[in-house]
A and B are shown apart, each in its own frame.
Chain A
Amino acid sequence: MASEEAGPGGSVESVVGTAAGGSSRPRTKIVLGEVAARRAPGDRARVDLAEQTPVGEALVKGLMRAQLALALRLSLVVLTGLGALPLLFAVAPPVGAAKVLGVSLPWLLLGVASFPFLVGVGWAYVRWAEHNERDFTAVIRRPEQ
């Protein structure tokens, strides 16, 4: 797919292959610079970004929307998981008085369970936020079809 677009030489084709693999980043970067110098059509997205064309603007907006949606979704998880607790204890006092393994349930939830829960949400966020960024980078680096 890439070779028809990036006419100038076989080296470009191999480079595009590396970019899709995403493992050897420095090498990819240098050669893409060369490609930009030859004005390969595949680099239009980068130019769009750098020069703030409507297409570039739309790309950044897409990334921001994806990241913000992810952050808001995970805050909703925390809000329902932790934020609902005071209300729950107020509405249903038996829950606040319940005991698990001899320890009062609210103490276990707030004093122990809340911290791994927060770390778990944070871990999921880092994973997915990096995934969003990889998708964005792939769109910019992939030559247009």
Chain B
Amino acid sequence: MNPYVIPSLILVVLVTVGIGAYGLRFARTTSDFLVASRSVSPSWNAAAISGEYLSAASFLGIAGLVLRYGVDVLWYPVGFAAGYLALLLFVAAPLRRSGAFTLPDFCQVRLRSPLLRRLATVFVMFIGCLYLVPQLQGAGLTFTTVTGGSYAWGALAVGLVVTANVALGGMRAITFVQAFQYWLKLTALAVPVIFLVLQWQADGRPAVTPPAGPVFRTETTVTVQQDALLDGTTPVQRGDELTFPAGTPVPQVSSVDAHLGAGWLLPGREGSLFATYSLILATFLGTMGLPHVLVRFYTNPDGASARRTTLVVLALVGLFYLLPTLYGVLGRIYAPRLLMTGRTDAVVLLLPEAALGGGALGQMLGALVTAGALAAFLSTSSGLLTSVAGVVFTDVLRAGRGGSIRDFRVATVLAAIVPLALSLYVANMDVSRVVGLAFAVAASSFCPLLVLGIWWRGLTDVGAAAGILAGGGASMAAVLVTVLGPPLSGWPAQLVGQPAAWSVPLAFLVMVVGSLLTSKRVPADVGALMLRLHAPESLRL
């Protein structure tokens, strides 16, 4: 095992706790404690938002998908970044001016409906849980890759650590901690990639897609994970150890879905046009509906700075997303055995040692990316768990103002159990795919609510509830079938596996028609609300 890994992980935890403790000295009020002071400059705030947003799916998942499927999955990082553009164009400034702290709060402020608030609560919990699953998956995978231990123990250990941390200490996500996590994640990918590219140059720039498919550069021993056929002919059994001499082409394993041919380089190979557009719709519109994203906007002092902060987030997130693609591409050359085992999500963790050798440099860079991965799932899952637990605390346990810290702890444990159980169940799904499903539900429930709520006076509580139930409910059902149900094939598989292309328009349509039919229920003070959402604060009306 790499001797630098444990010290670097301990260092990350110590620095995180240290900055948190230092930041706590400046926290005065409850809102300071939960979301940091509101007098933070847009650049710090933006780094914090990016730090919380860049999850295991971004840090590990994208490179894994690129290694497996090629150029088509680049829509994931593009969509994850473009989601902030949609947020900027349609939501950022008015949402900050509404003063809403969570999505259920926005329902209350805009439509004054307790029933709608409760419905929003259900969706926040569902999306939060669904988004937590891939974080724990990433943790389990990292644990297996680094220590060789079992996946379940890794996911369980990190799940328990995060739950205990949130339950005992509140969020402690002082802006500076999250901002530090962003820069750590960026460094952890950017520094090794320089050495990786130099190594690639030194090796005489080996082709990414040789005519015969990926080849093993050195003698490699692969342990077979499942009973399968090699290249469609040779049967192998789980646990078999196969040794391939240097220069052998990587065989296609029947139990692992991966593109080995030169078609990996070309678009349109992975999934249909429908699936691609569905993914684009889900990621572009889903970001604004994620529970942990919205909370952070409250830290901006006014609407104009919310806009500027979002722009900086877009730039920081875009900068980060330049890197995972390179790991996926170089993984084709230096870590092709992952294409046989199917553990492609581990490519970021394994690539430094695979490319640079087991020497000190490779080990130190390997430790650096592992530390970055730890930062990725710690920051995102703490932020998510806090926002879900907060919603459970205020809207489910009905603790309200009289609620004790004990109730918050109960809420945290309740919010952690389901995703923890699910993460053990869906161990074999790609991390980024599960995240994509969470985006689809967010895009077909909260995106229409926010966009219509902010820009259309005619929205009513009945229309909004009907739209969320129709679009969000349908996509929720599709997700449950995908994760828990039997495998589908053909068109049903497309429609259920990537539901956003039909569920988002459905949600908008039902919301508009429902509101038009119940137009008498438009709140009487909608004019004053629109003034508050859209007029610049400098007018002080």
A residues whose Cβ falls under 8 Å from a Cβ of B: 25, 29, 46, 49-50, 52, 56-57, 60, 63-64, 67-68, 71, 74-75, 78, 82-83, 86-87, 89-90, 93, 96-97, 104, 106-107, 110-112, 114-116, 118-119, 121-123, 125-126, 129-130, 133, 136-137, 140
Bound state CA distance, A87 and B311, in angstroms?
28
Q: Write out, one digit per residue, whether chain B residues 452-463 have a CB within 8 A of any chain A CB (1) or not (0).
A: 000100000000
Q: Are A112 and B322 in contact (CB under 8 A)?
A: yes
Q: Which chain A residues border B84 with CB–CB below 8 Å?
A: 122
Q: Which chain A residues border B273 with CB–CB below 8 Å?
A: 86-87, 90
Q: Does B304 contact A (CB under 8 A)?
A: yes
- Interface segment among B107-115, B405-413, B532-540: the answer is B532-540
The residue on B at minimum CB distance from A70 is B89
Q: Which chain B residues border A121 with CB–CB below 8 Å?
A: 85
**Number of residues in B with C-beta < 8 Å to the partner?**
46
Bound state CA distance, A129 and B315, in angstroms?
18
Q: Which chain B residues border A64 with CB–CB below 8 Å?
A: 455, 530, 534
Q: Does B266 contact A (CB under 8 A)?
A: yes
Q: Are B535 and A60 in contact (CB under 8 A)?
A: yes
Given contacts A86-B277, A126-B88, A130-B304, contact A60 B530 (CB under 8 A): yes
Q: Which chain B residues border A71 with CB–CB below 8 Å?
A: 89-90
Report how many A-B pairs have Cβ atoms within 8 Å.
Answer: 128
Bound state CA distance, A126 and B530, in angstroms?
20
Q: Which chain B residues border A137 with CB–CB below 8 Å?
A: 536, 538-539
Bound state CA distance, A129 and B310, in angstroms?
13
Bound state CA distance, A46 and B88, in angstroms?
28
Q: Are A46 and B541 in contact (CB under 8 A)?
A: yes
Interface residue from A49, A75, A111, A114 paired with B531 (Cβ < 8 Å): A49
Interface residue from A74, A87, A115, A129 paired with B322 (Cβ < 8 Å): A115
Interface residue from B89, B310, B322, B534 paired with A60 (Cβ < 8 Å): B534
Q: Does B155 contact A (CB under 8 A)?
A: no
4 nearest A-B pairs in the assembled complex, by CB-CB distance: A115-B318, A110-B74, A71-B89, A89-B267
Bound state CA distance, A80 and B82, in angstroms?
14
Bound state CA distance, A130 and B409, in angstroms?
43
Bound state CA distance, A111 and B318, in angstroms?
10
Given contacts A71-B89, A110-B71, contact A86 B276 (CB under 8 A): yes
Interface residue from A67, A97, A107 paired with B74 (Cβ < 8 Å): A107
Bound state CA distance, A95 and B531, in angstroms?
48
Q: Does B335 contact A (CB under 8 A)?
A: no
Bound state CA distance, A3 and B539, in angstroms?
22
Query: Which residues of B198-215 are within 8 A (CB) of A?
Result: none
- Please name 21 pairs of A and B residues whose Cβ atoms are closer than 8 Å in the assembled complex, sorted by A: A46-B539, A52-B527, A64-B455, A71-B90, A82-B82, A86-B267, A86-B268, A86-B273, A93-B266, A96-B268, A104-B266, A106-B74, A107-B74, A107-B265, A111-B77, A115-B318, A118-B314, A122-B84, A130-B307, A136-B535, A136-B536
